[in-house]
């Protein structure tokens, strides 16, 4: 096999690279002991460069074209080798073909969330991903810094490095831009170009590579921030929250009334809606909330027995209950109770109760309610 390879190498007269891949960046021309036949034909196709390396040193670089490998076409290599015995026998050199066309459909993304200080939401974490294209602009520097002696160097081998550089640069660009999360989407084009230029500055001189195109496809935030954004958008769309709540309440009450089998939960919802309607409309609603004046025959029965019940929860404004036809009615705010006195609904002997009282008493016997009634004239003397 070695003898066959040797004979084949001596007969080589065409040096070329037919690239059938889409992501190969560098390819080394195979030959026996690096021997290239004198006057061989070098074919460099569009989108390629051919680099001759002699004993680890970059010699000649050829762009697209058809060349006859002679002394006049290899000035640097001729100087390095000396050609003491003439240029009439195979010479030793490594030949690397470098793809100078754009390698497309390369992807980048942030492996970890990037902290961002948002003017509306404060510190948030964002992720980003996108695509980019890659092209070699300095084959010699690329070979020296990245490829080394690899026979085949794929774009994927450098993409891990580039993804890290792009992600790191993205964090700097977004932080310096001072753009809020809500405005990132409409600034993708501007941010993409700023990011591309910043990345090129880092890799151009060092690795001999260029990124002609780079795009930010999406910037996402954690789920909890997405929910907060949705809530904020909903509140903005609603506008007047008070009017919306009144509409929701009015819309829900008929549905609750039409569902008598709602059970205890439905009753609680109905009670909550009823109290909300009472406070909103300033009306008077009925319900039990204190000791039940059991056995009350008339509003003036001072000595009526009672059955203790559950006291209503304390409210910010004191509320009162009154006894009507043997039933507890209320709650009443002080203003509503004063109106009931003015209309004659509540008299001096009407039984009343509020939180903190142990029993029902007549309205006139309560100091804070007694002033609601006009003064009574003194009794007439018989003399």
Give 184-228 pLDDT, tens digit per residue: 888 888 999 999 999 998 887 788 888 999 999 988 877 777 777
The CATH number of residue 203's host domain is 3.30.479.30
User: In terms of domains, do 35 and 125 share one?
Assistant: no
Domain boundary among 169, 191, 223: 223
Highest mean pLDDT among 36-40, 140-144, 221-225, 275-279: 140-144
Q: Which of residues 120 and 356 earns the better pLDDT score? A: 356
- Domain assignment of residue 262, yes or no: no
pLDDT band at 2 (very low <50, low <70, confident <90, very high): low
Q: What is the structure's pLDDT at 283?
A: 43
User: In terms of domains, do 75 and 130 share one?
Assistant: no
User: In terms of domains, do 330 and 219 share one?
Assistant: no
Q: Which of residues 336 and 130 earns the better pLDDT score? A: 130
Please give the residue range of the domain that contains residue 183: 103-223
| Residue showing tokens 């009823």 | 274
Q: Which of residues 261 and 107 earns the better pLDDT score? A: 107
Q: What is the structure's pLDDT at 207?
A: 82
Burial status of residue 303 (CB atoms within 10 A of its CB: 0-12, 13-18, 19 or more): exposed
User: In terms of domains, do 214 and 116 share one?
Assistant: yes
- Domain assignment of residue 312, yes or no: no
Looking at the predicted structure, is the pLDDT value of residue 264 above 50?
no
User: In terms of domains, do 321 and 369 share one?
Assistant: yes
Nearest 10 degrees: Cα torsion 299, 303, 305, 308: 80
User: In terms of domains, do 148 and 185 share one?
Assistant: yes
Domains identified in the chain, total number = 3
User: In terms of domains, do 141 and 215 share one?
Assistant: yes
- Domain assignment of residue 256, yes or no: no
Kindly report, residue by residue over 344-367, the tens digit of the pLDDT.
888 888 898 888 888 888 888 888
- Domain assignment of residue 150, yes or no: yes
Domain boundary among 198, 223, 248: 223
- Domain assignment of residue 351, yes or no: yes
Domain boundary among 57, 76, 99: 99
Q: Which of residues 317 and 294 earns the better pLDDT score? A: 317
pLDDT band at 158 (very low <50, low <70, confident <90, very high): confident
Looking at the predicted structure, is the pLDDT value of residue 69 above 50?
yes
User: In terms of domains, do 108 and 218 share one?
Assistant: yes
Q: What is the structure's pLDDT at 297?
A: 40
User: In terms of domains, do 12 and 52 share one?
Assistant: yes
- Domain assignment of residue 277, yes or no: no
Q: What is the structure's pLDDT at 138?
A: 86
- Domain assignment of residue 257, yes or no: no
User: In terms of domains, do 95 and 111 share one?
Assistant: no
The CATH number of residue 355's host domain is 3.30.1490.40
C-alpha distances out from residue 51 to 86, 94, 117, 128, Å: 23, 8, 48, 37
pLDDT band at 382 (very low <50, low <70, confident <90, very high): low
**Picking from 93-107, 145-159, 240-254, 334-348, which range would have the lowest pLDDT averaged per residue?**
240-254
- Domain assignment of residue 266, yes or no: no
CA separation for the pair 293, 306 (Å, rounded): 5
Q: Would you say the pTM of this structure is higher than 0.85?
A: no
Looking at the predicted structure, is the pLDDT value of residue 12 above 60?
no
User: In terms of domains, do 88 and 28 share one?
Assistant: yes
User: In terms of domains, do 48 and 90 share one?
Assistant: yes
Q: What is the structure's pLDDT at 263?
A: 44
């Amino acid at each position: 096999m070695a003898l066959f390879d040797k004979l084949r190498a001596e007969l080589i007269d065409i040096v070329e690279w037919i690239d059938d891949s889409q992501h190969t960046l560098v390819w080394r021309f195979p030959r026996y002991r690096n021997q290239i036949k004198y006057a061989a034909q070098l074919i460099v196709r569009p989108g390629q460069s051919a680099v001759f390396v002699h004993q680890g040193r970059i010699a000649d670089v050829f762009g697209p074209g058809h060349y006859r490998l002679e002394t006049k076409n290899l000035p640097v290599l001729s100087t390095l080798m000396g050609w003491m015995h003439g240029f009439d026998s195979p010479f030793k050199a490594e030949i690397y073909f470098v793809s100078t066309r754009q390698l497309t459909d390369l992807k980048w993304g942030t492996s970890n969330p990037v902290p961002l200080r948002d003017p509306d939401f404060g510190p948030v974490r964002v992720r980003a991903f996108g695509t980019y294209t890659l092209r070699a602009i300095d084959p010699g520097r690329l070979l020296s810094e990245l490829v080394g002696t690899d026979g085949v160097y794929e774009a994927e081998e450098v993409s891990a490095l580039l993804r890290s550089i792009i992600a790191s640069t993205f964090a700097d660009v977004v932080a310096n831009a001072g753009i809020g999360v809500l405005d990132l989407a409409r600034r993708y084009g501007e941010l993409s170009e700023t990011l591309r230029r910043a990345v090129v500055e880092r890799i151009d001189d060092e690795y001999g590579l260029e990124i002609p195109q780079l795009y930010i496809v999406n910037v996402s935030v954690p789920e909890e921030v997405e929910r907060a954004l949705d809530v904020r958008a909903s509140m903005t769309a609603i506008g007047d929250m008070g009017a919306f709540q009144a509409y929701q309440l009015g819309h829900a009450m008929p549905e609750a009334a039409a569902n008598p089998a709602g059970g205890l939960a439905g009753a609680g919802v109905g009670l909550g809606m009823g109290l909300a309607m009472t406070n909103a409309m300033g009306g008077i609603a009925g319900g039990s909330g204190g000791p039940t004046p059991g056995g009350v025959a008339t509003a003036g029965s001072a000595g009526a027995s009672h059955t203790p019940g559950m006291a209503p929860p304390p409210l910010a404004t004191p509320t009162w209950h009154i006894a009507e036809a043997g039933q507890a009615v209320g709650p009443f705010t002080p203003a509503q109770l004063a109106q009931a006195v003015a209309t004659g609904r509540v008299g001096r002997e009407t039984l009343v109760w509020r939180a903190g009282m142990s029993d029902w008493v007549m309205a006139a016997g309560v100091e804070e309610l007694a002033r609601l009634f006009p003064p009574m004239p003194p009794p007439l003397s018989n003399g």
